[in-house]
């Protein structure tokens, strides 16, 4: 359910994704990648949340934003385990990069598939 809520946030925010948003996403992903390299789980989760939060904020949907908070709070422990595992630290920054590339190409379908895959990978670690 959480994966689909984030896909919905992406769909709502897609018309607002411009070069400035792409630069912000790149910056956040660089910080996220560094935290992954340093195995700093607290910082990893911070930048992962900020990265995905860009789409939630751009969606301009306060109901969706509040609704997403509940399942996110329930998966926090799972995310910690995912980022402690080596697969989480190497896979997620790459998927974020793929998402940025899809957004640059204005490929909503590919971007949605990447967001879905990114969240599902986290939840089935």
The first and second tokens of residue 122, run together, are 């986290």
- Predicted confidence at residue 19, as pLDDT, reads 97
Query: Distance between the two ends of the chain, CA-based, in angstroms?
Result: 16
CA distance 40 to 104: 29
Number of structural domains (the chain) is: 1
CA distance 11 to 33: 25
Residue matched to tokens 């070069």? 19
- The domain that holds 57 is classified in CATH as 1.20.120.530
What is the residue-level pLDDT of the chain in tens, covering all 125 positions? 999 999 999 999 999 999 999 999 999 999 999 999 998 989 999 999 999 999 999 999 999 999 999 888 888 778 877 777 765 567 889 999 999 999 999 999 999 999 999 998 876 75
Q: What is the DSSP string of 41-75?
A: HHHHHHHHHHHHHHHHHHTT-HHHHHHHHHHHHHH
CA distance 79 to 70: 14
Range of the domain at 24: 2-123
- Predicted confidence at residue 87, as pLDDT, reads 53
With a CB cutoff of 8 Å and minimum separation 6, the contacts of 39 are: 84, 89
- Predicted confidence at residue 112, as pLDDT, reads 98
With a CB cutoff of 8 Å and minimum separation 6, the contacts of 91 are: 121
């Amino acid at each position: 359910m959480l994966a689909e809520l984030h896909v919905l946030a992406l769909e709502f925010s897609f018309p607002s994704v411009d070069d400035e948003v792409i630069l912000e996403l790149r910056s956040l992903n660089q910080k996220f990648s560094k935290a992954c390299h340093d195995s700093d789980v607290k910082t990893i989760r911070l930048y992962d949340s900020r990265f995905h939060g860009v789409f939630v904020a751009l969606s301009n949907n306060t109901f969706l934003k509040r609704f997403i908070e509940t399942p996110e709070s329930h998966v926090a422990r799972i995310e910690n385990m995912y980022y402690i595992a080596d697969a989480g630290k190497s896979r997620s920054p790459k998927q974020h990069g793929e998402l940025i590339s899809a957004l640059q190409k204005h490929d909503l379908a590919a971007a949605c598939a990447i967001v879905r895959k990114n969240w599902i990978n986290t939840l089935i670690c």
